[in-house]
Amino acid sequence: MRAHDRGQDPAILAGVRVADFSRVLAGPYATMMLADFGADVIKIEGPDGDETRAWRPPADPQGSSTYFAAVNRNKRSMTCDLAGPDGAAARRLAATADVVVENFRPGVMERFGLGYEQLAAVNPRLVYCSITGFGRGAGAELPGYDLIVQALGGLMSVTGEPEGRPMKVGVALVDVLTGLNAFSAVLLALRRREQRPGPQRIDVDLLSSLLAGLTNLAAATLTTGEPPGRFGNAHPSIAPYETFETEDRMLAIAVGNDRQFAALCRTLDLPDLPLDHRFDDNPSRVQHRSELREVLEARLRTAPASEWQERLTAARVPAGAVSTVDEAFALAERLGLGLVTGAPGAGRQAANPIRMSSGSPTYRIPPPPLGDRGPLGWSDERDPDEEALA
């Protein structure tokens, strides 16, 4: 990490240089998180740019892809044909970086002279993060697309209605989980570098991130040998914990204990329901889920979701109307969470969700136009031997 001007309060990752060879979502999400906290992220793109630059509509008022913008703020862009003569510039940059992040197929970076062993030989401080779909071993050639991992990784098998088709999650959730894991791993490696100097290799893959993210479903499967099925919006181990129809829209209710269930029944004017042996404890409610749902939904249909949400919340029963994304941002605004932001010259975006008492994320520059290096060059006091990198 390089020195900072005295008298200024530097960002947490100020002075950390990141050479970002990743594209699409998981890698760019990780590097944007680093950039939000002050890292100098240089996005190295091919002559045609990151594929997501062309993923529109929708587009912002300047005509740029909102998909690209969502994960590439606070970065600078360098265009480079890694297989051509200007690949040497990318190798020099990588050799001066604190962090390299890449998500090419295993073996591709080595062909460009940008593999871990090649760079670590000239950059002993290197943190090198590889993001793959299925690891660098036997799964190296499998396609690392979020949809494919949701399918092969079991997530689709537990998503959707019990009698319906398996469904993907509405956002590329596996990519986001993997990006967060990569972000965390880079921070750990930078801390490790302070304790024990030397290069560090990080491997993060989509399948492992998904399987770890299955948490209780993974534990249940590994313990019993029985894969879980689809429960729609219901919970396999808790009831009532799902969505219900009301007079106007769906309402989610999450009852986690007997106290909450009793409060739910009082609020719905069903005070005798907890006395029914089918519903007197959670295992019984799970066993008789369909009967319980029928009774509750008949009552919930008599009033709008907003009224039930207000009454149940007052009774300390977790409940919320199923909302659209714009309604969700409006809720965050009313709660003072400040989740909408925009770097200078950029459109509105979801803000970084991490808040710090000191060193909070900042939004300094918009997602870069292709090849826009920004106001700074690539010079560095640790320039390596150019002949070793050419």
Q: Annotated catalytic sites, by residue?
A: 175
- 284 in Cβ contact with 214 (< 8 Å): no
Question: Could you tell me the end-to-end alpha-carbon distance of the chain, in angstroms, rounded to an integer?
Answer: 25
Around Cβ 218, how many Cβ atoms within 10 Å? Answer: 15
d(CA 52, CA 26) in angstroms, rounded, equals 12
- Token digits for 272? 């005798």
Cite the DSSP H helix spans in the chain.
26-36, 66-70, 87-96, 108-111, 116-120, 146-152, 173-195, 206-213, 215-224, 258-267, 282-287, 289-300, 305-314, 325-334, 386-389
List 75's β-bridge partners, or say none: 41
Query: How far, in Å, are 32, 71, 193, 194, 349 from residue 365 at the CA level?
Result: 11, 13, 29, 29, 13
d(CA 205, CA 295) in angstroms, rounded, equals 45
- Token digits for 58? 């929708």
d(CA 255, CA 239) in angstroms, rounded, equals 7
The DSSP letter of residue 321 is E
CA neighbor of 203 nearest in space, from 86, 79, 106: 106
Indicate the pairing of strand 200-205 with strand 127-132.
parallel
Torsion of CA 44, 145, 170, 214, to 10 degrees: -110
- 187 in Cβ contact with 98 (< 8 Å): no
CA neighbor of 70 nearest in space, from 368, 344, 350, 372: 350
What percent of the residues of the chain are helix, what percent strand, and what percent coil, each to the nearest 5?
A: 35, 15, 50
- 130 in Cβ contact with 102 (< 8 Å): yes
d(CA 43, CA 100) in angstroms, rounded, equals 10
